[in-house]
Amino acid sequence: MSQEHVIGQRDVDRVSTTPVLEVRDLVKHFTARRRLLVPTPAPLRAVQGVSFQVQRGQALGIVGESGCGKSTLAKMIMGLHEPTSGTVLLEGRDVSEIPRTEFARRVQFVFQDPYSSLNPRKTVRQALDAPLRHLAGLDAPARRARTAELLDLVGLRAEFADRYPHEFSGGQRQRVGIARALASTADVLLLDEPVSALDVSVQAQVLNLLRELQQELGLTYVFIAHDLAVVENLCDEVGVMYLGRVVEQAPAEVLFGSPRHPYTHTLLSAIPTGDRSQRRLRLAAPAGANGPAGTDEGCAFAPRCYRVEDRCQTDLPPLSAEPAGHPVACHFADDTDPEEHAR
């Protein structure tokens, strides 16, 4: 069990193969703008040393609070943000050495915000045309056929092809974004909240589609989402982030079945179920009470944690699978049962 701390490693046979995607100790600091008469604040540490591996055909889910650095992490993998330090490897090769077009043929991104990610002056057909031509290398008739096929795959009517983004509803735009990612030949998709704008019937369609593509084409996903039921439905492995760090990682069924980090417990109990009498673990303080900048002193979750003890204020808990189980960054990982500890 303690061996199983490599994300994406579901079956032991795969241990020896190079992961499709690996990130090593990624860090991103945003320097605050200088303002007149105000001392320049410390840089904002959005991502503070994240490492993981994803094997071919696996889906890694990333969950965590708003602002914990999920999108920043994804943008660094995509090369949209320069990492402050750390490396991203695609099949063992440092991505900073891979030419742009080659990278784009392999890795595509679906953005969190379908409003700003589509060019308002391009119809859907034009938006799909570029990747179909330059990345998939299709000729005009083939592009026409593929466009129709892609729209059908994501559940949009064929005649939508000649419409502009502003003519679509939120969920329809998000599906255009997914179609565009699928238009390339990419086998690694980074999906940043791809289904949260969709209604549940379309969401079900898209999740089934992603699962099907994963099985048939062996696609690899990094799937960022805040809906835990959705993550469980699609992902093999899940990493939970808190303020720029991974605080727990495990196979989906283990993470949701026997969580160890108090933050994961808190997340699970916050899911609205409709049962108004349901007891929720209330956080001791609101989101980000500990400040966005983050420190190395103590556990970042301490100000909000129900399990906190003195030691948490001073010692940074490392991500460790010891003494038993999957990796968790908590000093009391084996003794976090909210029934026993939460007020």
Partner 1 sequence: MSDVRIEPPDTTSLLEVRGLRTEFVVEDEVYRAVDGVDLTIGPGESVGLVGESGSGKTVTAMSILQLIPDPPGRIVGGSIEIDGVDLVRAPERVLRQVRGGRIACVFQDPLTSLNPVLPVGDQLTEMMRAHQDLDRRAARRRARELLDAVHIPHAERRLEEYPHELSGGMRQRVMIAMALANDPELLIADEPTTALDVTVQAEILDLLRELRERTGMSLLFITHDFGVVAELCDRVVVMYAGRVVEQAPVDKVFADAAHPYTRRLVDCMPRLGEGRRDLEVIPGLPPALNRLPDGCAFAERCDVVEEACRRGTIALEGYGEDRMVRCIRPGARP
Half-sphere exposure of 157 (CA within 13 A, CB side): 5
Report, in Å, the least distance between residue 70 CB and Mg ion: 5
Q: Could you say which DSSP state residue 133 is in?
A: I
Report, in Å, the least distance between residue 58 CB and ligand ATP: 21
Smaller CB distance to ligand ATP: residue 138 or 156?
Answer: 156
Residue partners of 96: CB distance under 8 A and separation at least 6: 79, 87, 88
Q: Report the SS3 class of residue 131.
A: helix
Choosing from 14, 113, 187, 306, the residue that interacts with partner 1 (CB under 8 A) is 113
Choosing from 94, 199, 315, 322, the residue that interacts with partner 1 (CB under 8 A) is 199
Residues 138-177 within binding reach of Mg ion (CB under 5 A): 169-170
Choosing from 53, 71, 108, 174, the residue that interacts with Mg ion (CB under 5 A) is 71
Smaller CB distance to Mg ion: residue 57 or 177?
Answer: 177
| Angle CA 9–13–15, to nearest 5 | 50
Task: Please report whether residue 291 would count as binding Mg ion according to CB under 5 A.
Answer: no
Residues 272-291 within binding reach of partner 1 (CB under 8 A): 272-276, 280, 283, 286-289, 291
Q: How many CB atoms lie within 10 A of CB 222?
A: 28
Half-sphere exposure of 295 (CA within 13 A, CB side): 12
Residue partners of 11: CB distance under 8 A and separation at least 6: none
Site size toward Mg ion (CB under 5 A) is 4
Amino acid making up residue 59 = A
Q: Could you say which DSSP state residue 308 is in?
A: -
Asked if the bond preceding 323 is cis, omega within 30° of 0, the reply is: yes
What residues line the site for Mg ion (CB under 5 A)? 71, 112, 169-170
What residues line the site for partner 1 (CB under 8 A)? 30, 35, 41, 63-67, 71, 112-113, 115-116, 155-157, 159, 163, 167-172, 193, 196-205, 207-208, 211, 226-230, 232-236, 252-253, 256, 266-268, 270-276, 280, 283, 286-289, 291-292
